[in-house]
Chain A
Amino acid sequence: MKDTITEYINSRFSDVLLPQRDINTNLLYFSIQKEALPTVVQALKDHPEFAFTYLNDLTSIDWLGKREPRFEVVYLLRSPKNKHFRLQLRVPVGEGEEVPSLAEIFPAANWPEREVYDLMGIPFSNHPQLERLIMPDNFVGHPLRKDYPLEGPGQDYLIEDLLTIHVSEDITG
């Protein structure tokens, strides 16, 4: 399976494949250009032999200070027809760049994409409802980014508030 799928992707999508890093992993993976993502995913899903009909997982990695471009969105597709073989697609994304949404191909992509948008700050184009999912709507920043302050920007206000209350409090009665 590994060889046939590699051969298929290499021959069919050679123009959108990006150079791969040597990763120690238990998954077969391909790096592809973000513009070509829906086409590749749709082709893999519709292919009668491979039939990657199940979106297994969708997440992102922030490589701040390690690699360029900064982000990578990672898709895990599963082919139940081929003994539940898993294939990983990786899409490098720079800061502020958009990734095409897969919500039309897989309805399952809706929430995971919103989660990536919310926590990592990567927007998805053509997403039906691109809003924050987990954090409140008025939350500032994207907490899963590597440069997000661990205590959160809200923490400063909290300490300030506490100090103000105690300073102005009249404890003498």
Chain B
Amino acid sequence: MVMYEKTAEHFGKKFKDLPEGHLLVNLGPSHPATHGILQNVIQIDGERVVDTESVIGYVHRCFEKLGERYDYNQFLVCTDRMNYVSTPLNNIGWILTVEKMMQIQVPDRVTYVRMIISELSRIMDHIICNGIMGVDLGAFSGLLHLFHHRENIYQILEKLTGARLTTTFCRVGGMERDIYPEFQSEIKTIIKGLKPALDEFEELLIRNKIFNERTAGIGGLSAERAIAYGFSGPNLRAAGVPWDVRKDDPYMFYDQVDFDIPVGGDGSALDRTLVRMEEMRQSMKIIEQLIDGIPEGPYHADVPHTFLPPKDKVYHNMEELIYHFKIIMHGVKVPPGEYYMATEAANGELGFYVVSEGEKSPWRVHVRRPCFWYYQAFPELVKGGLLADTIATMSSLNVIAGELDC
């Protein structure tokens, strides 16, 4: 089956009458600098970008359709595969939406742990984004310098959830299991090591003259245009707009912790990097406020129809066996309704819009993924710039193909 025949025709039409000396360059779909399977067809005049068309959909897995087939707990597994650089943030976004629809109040202990893991994931995501940006521009040591700390966070996730990448963190009504005894002390050790490492990273990469000159003033967008394009997260804040879902529409206990929202100026690639650097420090600040105060108590809400009962009870008690069976076979029962819940993922506002008709699966699931909204501005960001600058722009946007195509 020839799948992309018509696409080639389409490009032929769009870029048919190229002026003398103009060239058509295919950046991607499989290119180390495209951060996933993304294609950019770029028309260049010498080194200058004249026009661009972005093509997405190469890793589309129709998660929204799967959401209409799977039950609410099963869809949690799909959210792992969206932004695979910071999986727990997607998991938590989904679980919070379902809990909101079911009006479940989780114990404070669960919320504390979820917030700590959220912020660790944000750090993990920003390490990759800033580190890989250095790699794309020819500086490898920055990434290696912080990768060790990212690995430490992965080990926490591994101990907590049993998986490194596909964490499937949390369950409706709580967490799959309680935290392990060394959880707090290990996170404190990580933060202690990460703080000086971030300063060193900044000295090493961001204060580097070459990096600075290749990113300052590149791929910028004014605040008005960024808002018009639906930007969110660090990319919007880099343009000087102090919006953050954690502050504007607080969920969990974000209204009770003290942290600042870093903002940039011209929204350029350098500003985005700097905003991410500062966000990592703010995340550590949040974790430090929470880590010692994790309250004692159960790791899930007392909702038997929702949460799998402990195994020893299932083996000896008929009621618990029935609950167990019902949850596995029929899933959780979500009342009819339509909810939109937004959380601040590492990339920006991650929203889940869920339509329930009271059945086993949602009638409709829609994911508002942050990448999707700002990647459409890519042609405007790179127009008139140099071909080499498209790489810096793309890296700084933090486009994740798994999330973009969904």
Contact = CB atoms under 8 A, between A and B. Distances in A.
A23 interface: yes
B373 A108 contact: yes
Contacts of A80: 227, 243, 248
Interface string A42-55: 00000000000111
Given A23-B338, A24-B335, A143 B65 contact: yes
Contacts of A110: 376
Contacts of A111: 372-373, 375-376
B364 A62 contact: yes
B64 A137 contact: no
Interface residues of A, number: 41
Nearest to A139: B3
B64 A144 contact: yes
Contacts of A61: 355, 363-364
B249 interface: yes
A88 B4 CA distance: 37
Interface residues of B, number: 48
Interface stretch (A3-11, A92-100, A127-135): A127-135
Interface in A104-143: 106-108, 110-112, 115, 119, 131, 133-138, 143
B364 A76 contact: no
A107 to B, nearest CB: 5
A83 B247 CA distance: 10
B329 interface: no
Interface string B332-376: 000111111110000001010101010000011010100011011
Contacts of A56: 230, 342, 349, 351, 368
Interface in B242-257: 243, 248-249
B318 interface: no
Given A57-B353, A106-B230, A157-B1, A137 B338 contact: no
Contact of B229 (A66, A86, A107, A154): A107
B405 interface: yes
Given A57-B368, A59-B366, A107 B228 contact: yes
B1 A84 contact: no
A74 interface: yes
Given A25-B337, A26-B100, 6 more contacts: A61-B355, A80-B227, A84-B248, A86-B340, A112-B372, A157-B1
The 3 nearest A-B residue pairs measured at CB = A108-B230, A24-B337, A137-B6
27 contacts: A24-B335, A24-B338, A27-B340, A53-B227, A56-B351, A57-B340, A57-B353, A62-B364, A76-B353, A80-B227, A80-B248, A88-B340, A106-B230, A108-B228, A111-B372, A111-B376, A112-B373, A134-B56, A134-B60, A135-B60, A137-B4, A138-B2, A138-B5, A138-B6, A144-B65, A150-B65, A150-B69
